């Protein structure tokens, strides 16, 4: 789904990305927000996935750091329930232009359901790609209906069980939508081998962005393996230990018993083991999302 002065992103390690606390409404049209403090290194140990906590936020990843776009005092209601936009889209456009990056009209809007919701994760993916691409990327919170987040029925390359979306009639979620230019999108696509990027139409999955916009459609990464389910899809657990313990209760298998770090290492060494286990116990369901 993946989603600029011209400094290559490899010169900006995540641990040193500065963060500005200026909300979008205060961003000057002609200048970038001045970094005010360094962003602490965000751990990405497999057992700690999805590395986001339970909060979402609007932000602008720039070549100079990360600008916080949420209003002062935080957000206390879903994006669609705000009486005015939380994020100024003109300020995003101005920030991109000042950084020498592609405008929103030349970008693809992708709703993230896992670690891709954070600019730190995306900056790390850009850096690890080894490509000299422009890092500037907007992240805006959004409300989406009839979609929920569970677990892919297959491990990632590093042994954790990643997030995956599924259709859930009547459900409403607060997630993050990210605008990627073509080069960024190609990089993020390559990091998602267990997914296909699909279109969700506004008529079937209503979306409201923190900018107040209701886009005609958004993209999302959908699992090609289905989602973990026990009678119905299992909602995303925010710690790997939780989903492993749940699988122990459902299967009794030693494969997913023990400390999360050790289980991730075990699964990384045997990439097909989890998929075999969950299919043997009928713990996989289709995600119900549109293809084609």
pLDDT digits (tens, 9 = 90+) for 18-73: 444 334 344 433 334 444 334 434 568 999 998 875 568 899 999 999 999 988 87
Could you count the other beta carbons within 10 Å of the beta carbon of residue 81? 9
Residues 193-216 have a mean pLDDT of 97
Angle made by CA atoms 283, 289, 292, in degrees to the nearest 5: 125
Q: 131 and 189 in contact (C-beta within 8 Å)?
A: no
Residues 146-152 have a mean pLDDT of 98
For residue 122, which of 17, 11, 2 has the smallest C-alpha distance?
A: 2
Q: Long-range contact list for 287-290, CB < 8 A, 24+ apart? A: 287/164, 287/165, 287/166, 287/167, 287/222, 287/223, 287/226, 287/227, 287/233, 288/166, 288/167, 289/165, 289/166, 289/167, 289/198, 289/200, 289/220, 289/222, 290/198, 290/199, 290/200, 290/201, 290/204
Q: 162 and 49 in contact (C-beta within 8 Å)?
A: yes
Residues 213-241 have a mean pLDDT of 96
Please identify which residue in the block is written with the tokens 């359901």: 113
pLDDT at 175 over 80: yes
CA distances from 124 to 27, 42, 173, 183, 194 (A): 25, 10, 26, 15, 19
Give the model's confidence band at 238: pLDDT under 50 very low, under 70 low, under 90 confident, else very high.
Answer: confident
pLDDT confidence of residue 235: 97
Can you tell me whether residue 176 is helix, strand or coil? strand
Among the ranges given (24-28, 91-95, 109-113, 171-175), the one the predictor scored with the smallest mean pLDDT: 24-28
Q: 136 and 62 in contact (C-beta within 8 Å)?
A: yes
Q: What is the mean pLDDT of the chain?
A: 86
Give the model's confidence band at 292: pLDDT under 50 very low, under 70 low, under 90 confident, else very high.
Answer: confident
Among the ranges given (39-48, 102-111, 120-129), the one the predictor scored with the smallest mean pLDDT: 39-48
Tokens of 20: 């500005």
pTM for the model: 0.85
């Amino acid at each position: 789904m993946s989603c600029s002065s011209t400094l290559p992103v490899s010169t900006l390690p995540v641990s040193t990305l500065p963060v500005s606390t200026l909300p979008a409404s205060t961003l000057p049209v002609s200048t970038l927000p001045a970094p005010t403090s360094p962003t602490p290194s965000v751990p990405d140990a497999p057992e700690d996935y999805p590395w986001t906590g339970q909060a979402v936020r609007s932000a602008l990843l720039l070549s100079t750091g990360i600008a916080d776009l949420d209003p002062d005092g935080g957000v206390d209601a879903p994006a669609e329930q705000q009486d005015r936009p939380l994020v100024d889209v003109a300020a995003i456009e101005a920030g991109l232009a000042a950084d020498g990056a592609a405008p929103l009209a030349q970008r693809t809007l992708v709703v993230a359901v896992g670690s891709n919701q954070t600019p730190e994760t995306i900056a790390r993916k850009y850096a690890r790609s080894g490509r000299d691409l422009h890092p500037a990327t907007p992240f805006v919170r959004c409300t989406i209906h009839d979609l929920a987040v569970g677990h892919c029925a297959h491990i990632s390359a590093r042994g954790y069980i990643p997030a995956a979306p599924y259709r859930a009639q009547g459900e409403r979620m607060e997630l993050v939508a990210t605008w990627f230019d073509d080069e960024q999108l190609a990089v993020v696509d390559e990091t998602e081998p267990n997914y296909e990027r699909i279109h969700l139409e506004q008529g079937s999955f209503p979306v409201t962005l923190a900018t107040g916009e209701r886009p005609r459609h958004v993209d999302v990464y959908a699992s090609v393996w289905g989602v973990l389910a026990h009678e119905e899809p299992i909602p995303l657990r925010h710690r790997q230990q939780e989903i492993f313990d749940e699988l122990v209760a459902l299967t009794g298998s030693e494969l997913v018993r023990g400390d999360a770090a050790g289980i991730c290492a075990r699964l990384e060494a045997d990439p097909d083991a989890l998929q075999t286990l969950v299919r043997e116990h009928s713990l996989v369901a289709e995600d119900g999302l549109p293809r084609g």
